[in-house]
Structure 1
Amino acid sequence: MYFLLKSLHIFFIVSWFAGLFYLPRLYVNLAMTAPDSPEHKHLLIMANKLYKFMQPWAIGALVCGLALLIVQFGFKMGWGHGKILIGVLLLGYQHYCGKLLRDFQQGRNTRSHKWFRVFNELPVFTLIAAIWLAIYKPF
């Protein structure tokens, strides 16, 4: 059971992070195109499909991660709480990505492509923190 959960968790995490890395990159390109251009409309379709595609991967990652912590440790480890915090932060990031997508869809985006380039890097830091916690298991 443990190895199945761990394998599924890794699969879901990799899939989810692919979307978390790419969706804001689409926002960079959306911010650089004219709202009435065909390219802009195409990028909006891509972003919307990717956002919807990410939902099951996020749920799978969190469910398998929590189950893995419970099965392996009975939920009594400090580093696991840190990983849960990272998961919650990533859910917040994804939720905010959804808000940004709705802003683009409704023509209300006010942010520049430079802002989105910085925003695009935030999941990198959470991934580094999650890997560090998983490998070293401090606390």
Structure 2
Amino acid sequence: MINAYTSQGMDFSSSARMAEELIESGSTLPKAIDLVPGDVLYKVVPEGKMPGQYSAFFATKDEISSLKKMSYDQISDRIGIPLESQQTLRFDIVEVVATKPVTVFESIIAPTVQNGYRQPGGGVQTLITNRRDFTAPIVIGKLP
């Protein structure tokens, strides 16, 4: 994961800090997954909001499909949506498409605690270390 950041020109110290933050977001160590051009990843965001250009947290189609029968609160808890992002009634599903061969990382989302509010996590996150290897996000659906 550090190599993924340093290959973008980031210094080692910054690369290690970024990798550490992503590793700590999971309850399992990230596993490298190789994608090919055309592979699609998805992200759940508050309705009407697009992910930031450096947002690393995405998911596979199977993970998004597993959320479709869940309530808003169940989705928030499974994927660890921060409290400040839970101010809408629905979520948008956005997709990004790999534009070249790229390595991403997959781990189980760790439990979180924010202002005393506990979320169990447990969803599968796919971590993108270089969003420039993907198309701009577009909205493709809504949850719940």
Which TM bucket (shorter chain)? under 0.3
> Which one has the largest radius of gyration?
1
Higher normalized contact order (CA 8 Å, seq sep 6+, divided by chain length): 1
**TM-score for the superposition, normalised by structure 2:** 0.26
**TM-score for the superposition, normalised by structure 1:** 0.26
